[in-house]
């Protein structure tokens, strides 16, 4: 599944266009490598998402084409979450 679609379906980011913009700005890594919105995401991948002053590391647990809101959090696990000040992780 494409990275931007995964982020939208899992509801990590509400709009696919926003997910595409963030990925294409180089603010998302897949397994340590900078990703574009068109990169494929597979089960077991770790996504590092830099959004505002927050850095989240997410592990992909499940991939489905569509999901209900209350089941979307089953698609991923939060491995780590940090808040930054002036660009450095705390």
- Tell me: the pLDDT tens digits for 47-61? 999 988 999 999 999
In order of 3, 26, 33, 40, 69, the CA distances from 30 in angstroms are 9, 11, 5, 9, 24
pTM of the predicted model as reported, rounded to 2 decimal places: 0.84
Q: How confident is the model at residue 3 (pLDDT cuts 50, 70, 90)?
A: very high
- Which sequence spans correspond to the domains of the chain? 3-89
Burial of 27 per CB tally in 10 Å (0-12, 13-18, 19+): middle
The mean per-residue pLDDT over the stretch 6-34 comes to 94
Per-residue pLDDT tens for 22-73? 999 999 999 999 999 999 999 999 999 998 899 999 999 999 998 888 888 8
Q: 3-89 adopts what CATH topology?
A: 3.10.290
């Amino acid at each position: 599944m494409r990275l931007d679609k995964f982020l939208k379906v899992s509801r990590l980011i509400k709009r696919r266009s926003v997910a595409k913009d963030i990925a294409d700005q180089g603010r998302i890594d897949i397994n340590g490598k900078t990703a574009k919105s068109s990169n494929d995401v597979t089960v077991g991948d770790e996504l590092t998402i830099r959004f505002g002053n927050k850095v989240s590391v997410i592990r992909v647990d499940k991939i489905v084409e569509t999901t209900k809101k209350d089941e979307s959090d089953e698609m991923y696990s939060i491995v780590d979450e940090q808040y930054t000040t002036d660009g450095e992780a705390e």
